Each structure stands twice: as C-alpha cells, then as structure tokens.
Amino acid sequence: MLRSENQDDLPLNKIVSKDREISNEAVWSISSCKPGYGVYQLLDNSYETFWQSDGSQPHLINVQFFKKTYISCVKIYTDFKLDESYTPKEISFRVGLHDHDLREIQKMELNEPAGWITVPLNTRAFLLQLAILSNHQNGRNTHLRQIKVCVPADTDYKFSHRYSNNEMRSYAMDR
C-alpha cells in the first residue's frame, strides 16, 4: 500500500510525519551517476536537484547502517512532469545483512508519480537496496529527486557507532 503525500509546498525539513528520518546515519552508495548528479543531490533537501543514473538498468541505491536498524518506511520524491522518461516506473526494495544475501520485500509500480511517495517497509536490516528496474516511456537513465529513510518517531534509535580515534570518527558520516 502506497501513500502519496501532497506536501510539495513545505520545505523538505518541515514535512509533517509520524516518522523520523535517519538518512544521515547511514552510508550511501549508488551503482552509477552522471558527474554532479550523485548521492549528495539525493539527500540535499532540494526539489530542484536530483540523482541521475548513468548506464544500464537496474540502477541501484544502497543504504548501509552500522547496526541492524528498524526501517518503518522509505519516502521518495519524484516529478513525472519534469523528468518524463527519467521517472522510475518499477522499483524493488531489498534488505539483508550485506549485498550477497539481499531478499526482495516489496516491489512497486508507479504511474506518472508526482510528489512524495511513502513506501511502508516495517523491517530490520543492515542494508537496504532500492533497485530501479524500469522507467516510464522505456527510459534508460533515472532521476530521483529525494529519498528519506525513516524510523518511527517514538523510537530512541540514535547513531551510536564508536570509533577508537579521531581520524576514524571523521569518516563516520562521510557519504
């Protein structure tokens, strides 16, 4: 069951939700990108920027946590009117301990989406992978404008991985 939220006029950091975003507490990687259209653009809280894949499908987004994490939902912002054939049509959500034991927990098909789409996952994992399997109008590359990974607002989940020295701490939140 997908929910489309029409909160486009709100700033990204003011979206009303019963969930708390934990995207900054994970390490993100992508299968490919055009120069200047990478992970940073997925997480920069701007509707104007986007990640653009570069290459053949499926296009992958990996979100890896330092400990097994409860994920209540993933929120994706797309805009078919702006992105047309770059807009995802079919997305697979996979979870696991690492990239060699992923299992699909949800597959969804989008029909000309515009705005926020909330995908409830309600699972625990070290690794969450989004696989863009196809695009609208048989497009090759993908645009995703924003992604947010959330836990329930009432949980006390906090980033608590400890490093032994300052040099290693400096890489803890590096994307």
CA distances from 130 to 94, 127, 144 (A): 6, 10, 11
pLDDT of residue 110: 97
Map tokens 């697979």 to a residue. Answer: 92
* 78 close to 51: Cβ distance less than 8 angstroms: no
* 47 close to 145: Cβ distance less than 8 angstroms: yes
- The CA distance from 165 to 23, in Å, is 24
- The CA distance from 42 to 143, in Å, is 10
What are the backbone dihedrals phi and psi of residue 110, each rounded to the nearest 5 degrees, phi first? -105, 145
Dump pLDDT digits (tens) for 15-56. Answer: 445 889 999 999 999 999 999 999 999 999 999 999 999 999
Burial 78-113 (b: 16+ CB within 10 A, else e): bbbeebeebbbbbbbbbbeeeeeebeebbebebeeb
What whole-number percentage of the chain has pLDDT above 90? Answer: 75
Mean of pLDDT values over 112-116: 96
pLDDT of residue 113: 96
pLDDT of residue 103: 97
Tell me if the pTM is above 0.95: no
3-state secondary structure of 126: strand
| Tokens coding 3 | 């929910």
* 44 close to 11: Cβ distance less than 8 angstroms: no
On the question of pLDDT at 133 being above 90, the answer is: yes
- The CA distance from 3 to 78, in Å, is 13
pLDDT of residue 171: 53
- The CA distance from 154 to 165, in Å, is 32
- Look at 96 and 9; give whichever has higher pLDDT: 96
